[in-house]
Structure 1
Amino acid sequence: MNKINLKSTLYFFLAILFLSIKSYAKNDYDSSKISEQTKEIVKRIEKINILMGEFVGQAPRRPQQYENFEELKKKTSFEELRMLTDHPNGVVRCYAFWALAHNENVDLFSIVKTHLIDDATIETLFGCTGSVEKVGDVFINIVTPKYFDLNIKKLNEKESKALDSLLIYKNNNLDSRFTAIENVEINELLYPRIRELVTKFHNQSALATLSKYRKENDIQLILKNKGEDKSFFYTYKAIQNFPDSKFFPLLEKNLMQTLDNDHFDYDWRELYKAIATYKNTKAVDLLTIPFTKVKHQNIKKYHIDFIYDAILVNESSLYDDLLWKIWEEENIITLKGFKYLLKTNPSKTYELSKQNLLKNYNGNHENVTPFIDESIFADGLKETMLNFILANERNLAYNIISNQILESDVHDFEMYCKKVLELKETTFVEPLFKRLQTENNPNVYLQIVETLISFKDKDINKRILETRKENKNMNQNWGSDSLDQILEKNNIK
């Protein structure tokens, strides 16, 4: 963006800030403009006093509060809803604004602006997740694209940028302000305000943004920074944006202080990312220390996990040996790490994949370049590894599937059944029946039955019924009822 455009943009935002913002105040509410019918609905919302989504709980159900919201939406006029956004009760304000967002002709931006200082807190419950949020944040979440209810009106790009600018320049206590500060596109005109937020208000998100300017006179500000509870979280975030050599002694000192801890801290995740950002031999040396110097072995795994994540965020050939070490010695591997190492050394990746999936695999250690194409990649790591082996050694892959049918837990079992359904190989029938004979988890034995039925073989269907008689677990509780439905659907009697 050129200098003229920067000035124009700033003037536009400041004009919005000083000319069109009014302070939010609950005394804007006039109850005389609300009908008795609407007041009754509002009273029910106030009584429950929780902002709820359409479905809540572990066994999702539609709560009465959402029914109240639906009634508010249908029976309340636009003028009433607009007035209710200033109601004294925060939950009512949120539901009223949410209802307004279903109207394409409403100027939502003008309403959101009046609630930037609406920091009253309310309880919320969406699905299984309950939290406490500020009303102004809820308003902003409602109109944020690709967030909240996706079937309602959202702010356009120009309004979203203007809102972010208002959050940054107008003093407020909303959590949305931190997001706006962290995601803002930096420019020189914005720099004084970001620095002021750090120096005057100790805003930690602003520190991370300030570091993106990489200015020499901010180094001491970053070095001296500590967040709540003396946390270095945002200091480390800032160093990731500005990996100056002057920060390295701090990183080394803080790393050494973690090695004898008997508990872990999530700040360490950002500490290791900050170290890995440097991509030099000194960084490698520091990242290697926890492998041997951590005092408590149960805490070591957290260090290694954080190191692994940090390396993948800061890919460099300097860290390749550490990645291999983490996979071979710590058995830590993710799909992203797998893909990276596959490009680095396909043969070694192939051998380690076989070790991961096949118990007691000794390996042939031949330096053979395996066949690779895009078809091997799946959404999950284990399925990707299995596809990799299927593409190169089909018989070995079949052996792996058979073994995993017998041994895998409920989380992985679905994937192996899916693979059996794809391959339609009768080789897998016997291991499936062997597992079915003793299985007590309905989530597993129901998958086995459906997989066996897919072979469309009368003898197999007959064996399912016989096995059910032998395995009493298949005749209990909800699993038995679900099994009855599967058998009836497939006309198996």
Structure 2
Amino acid sequence: MNKIIYFFFFFLIFSCKSSSPPPLPHEIKRPLSVWELEIKNLIDNKLSESTRLIVQKMTAYNIITSSHISYSAIPSEQWKNFEELKKQASSEELILLMDYPNSSVKGYTFLCLLERKELDVYPILKKHYYDTNLVTMQEGCIIYRDRIGNFFVENSIASKRIKENEVDSLKKIALYDKKYQMSYKNELLIQIEPNETDYERIREIAIVERNPIAVLALSKYKQDQDKELIKSLINNEQTRYFGIRCVIHFPDTEFFPLLESYHDEEIKKRTDFSYTTYRVLYKAIVQYQNQESIYLLKKTLTKATNSASEYHKKYIWIALTKYPNSIYNEIFNQLDAEIKQDSLSELYLQEIEID
């Protein structure tokens, strides 16, 4: 099961804490509306008995899972239902099931359709592109929610079952159709490269929708008129991560005092560390490549509390590994010798590409 993972705040995440799987969403049932019940009965009457029984089991479980779940990687019964659906359901039944009033059924149905190479899935995808119903998914022991329309798009692209021009069409809809408000738009804004055509639309999204990810996309354009938007993100605790991440793309001198002020507060802390923000903070600081940034890094090494120092050193090392520059060699060499003695140093390497 493919999933493009970007922004933690779009999903409800449950951590792995034991070998027992967490409570599953099927324990809470939402009754179908009269209209949904009519649709369900209409579709059920057109299904073979074997397909109908599989769909009933899928609906009862009410989740999309990978083949193995939980901390101990036990086989998923829902995945077994999916395998049975692939074997039993005809293409005509699958197309019917795309309108079934259960998101987990629709999700698995779409995965089945992607494997039917003789079918053109793009018209099916376009029909269900705006489906905003929530679906709960489980991969291993992580459970999260997303809109089922996003699930369709992401798996279509990942499977390469739609053509390049069709992908471009989906991107255009996500960016320019104001009715489209799913997280695929945010994923697109993160990936988008600056071009003259899209700038005004991205700025509209940033201002009208107050979308911090659109401001992040704007930062790649390095336009003076966007500085206030970036500053407002940095000055707001709820959006500071995105504001500082903007500075990685647009290291203007006006932002440095804001980074410095935040930095000086954080290195004094003994608890309540903002790990995700530290990761982008130091990647932003090293973009300046000047004496002020050197001073700030050295200040971290000499002034941070003992409890904060461990984390700040780690993120300085990660930043300098991703963005090496000779101006920082002294600091990097000092940290490199220390970090490489840490048993977790290999894990730190995996964080280099994460923003």
TM-score (norm 2): 0.79
Instruction: Identify if the C-alpha distance between structure 1 residues 154 and 121 changes in structure 2 by more than 3 Å, giving closer, same or farther.
Output: same
- Please tell me the residue identity of whatever aligns with 2:46: K
Match of 2:171 in 1: 164
Q: Secondary structure at the match of 1:243?
A: coil
Q: How big is each residue's C-alpha offset from its partner over 1:130-166, in whole Å with a ceiling of 9 and x where there is no partner? A: 3223212221232233xxxxxx663333322322222
2:300 aligned residue: 290
Higher-helix-fraction structure: 1
Q: Which of 257, 276, 282 pairs up with 1:272? A: 282
CA distance in 2, matches of 1:28, 1:192: 42
Amino acid corresponding to residue 63 of structure 1 in structure 2? S
> What's the CA shift for 1:172?
2.9
- What is the 5 A alignment of 1:1-400? 30-31=42-43, 32-145=45-158, 154-170=161-177, 171-225=179-233, 230-263=238-271, 264-265=273-274, 266-294=276-304, 296-328=305-337, 331-333=338-340
- What is the alpha-carbon root mean square deviation over aligned residues? 2.4
Query: Aligned partners of 2:236 and 2:228: how far apart in 1?
Result: 19
Report the Cα distance in structure 2 between the residues aligned to 1:61 and 1:275, rounded to whole angstroms.
44
Larger Rg: 1
In structure 2, distance between residues paired with 1:285 and 1:110: 57
Deviation at 1:62, TM superposition (A): 2.9
Q: CA deviation at 1:316?
A: 0.6
2:339 alignment partner AA: I
Q: How many residues are matched? A: 304
- 1:114 Cα deviation after fit: 3.0
Amino acid at match of 1:198: A
Letter in structure 2 aligned against 1:66: W
What secondary structure, in the 3-state scheme, does the structure 1 residue paired with 2:162 have?
Answer: coil
Structure 2: unaligned runs, 5 residues or longer? 1-34, 347-355
- CA deviation after TM superposition for structure 1 residue 314, in Å: 1.8
1:225 is paired with a residue whose SS is helix
By how many angstroms is 1:307 displaced? 1.0
Distance 1:141-1:237 versus aligned 2 partners, 3 A rule: same
Contact (CA 8 Å) 1:103, 1:153: kept in 2 or not? Answer: no
Displacement of 1:315 after TM fit?
Answer: 1.1
- How far 1:93 moved relative to its partner? 0.6
- Secondary structure (helix, strand or coil) at the match of 2:115 reads coil
The alignment partner of 2:181 has SS state of coil
Task: Quote the Cα distance in structure 1 between the aligned partners of 2:50 and 2:285.
Answer: 62
1-structure distance, mates of 2:75, 2:154 = 21
Kindly state the Cα deviation for residue 290 of structure 1 after the two structures are TM-superposed. 0.9
The residue identity in structure 2 corresponding to 1:322 is I
Contact 1:164 1:180 in 2 (8 A): yes
* CA contact 2:212–2:239 (8 Å) conserved in 1: no
1:204–1:227: 8 Å Cα contact kept in structure 2? Answer: no
5+ residue gaps, structure 1: 1-24, 146-151, 334-355, 358-379, 382-493
How far residue 228 of structure 1 moved from its aligned partner, in angstroms, is 7.8
| Deviation per residue, 1:459-478 (Å, 9 max, x gap) | xxxxxxxxxxxxxxxxxxxx
SS of the residue corresponding to residue 143 of structure 2 reads strand
Question: 1:59/1:250 Cα in 2 relative to 1: closer, same or farther (>3 Å)?
Answer: closer
- The residue type equivalent to 2:70 in the other structure is G
Distance 1:182 1:68 in 2: 35
Q: Distance in 2 between matches of 1:48 and 1:97?
A: 17
Q: Percent identity?
A: 29
Q: Distance in 2 between matches of 1:229 and 1:93?
A: 38
Equivalent residues of 1:227, 1:233 under 8 A apart: no
Distance 2:79 2:108 in 1: 9
Taking the aligned partners of 1:228 and 1:169, their CA distance within structure 2 comes to 28
3-state SS of paired residue (1:33): coil
Q: Give, in angstroms, the shift of residue 28 of structure 1.
A: 7.5
Secondary structure of the corresponding residue to residue 64 of structure 2: strand
Counterparts of 1:275 and 1:181 in 2: how far apart (Å)? 23
The 2-side partners of 1:228 and 1:118 are apart by 32
C-alpha separation in 1, matches of 2:67 and 2:302: 51
**Equivalents in 1 of 2:127, 2:222: separation in Å?**
35
Partner Cα separation in structure 1 for residue 186 and residue 258 of structure 2:
25
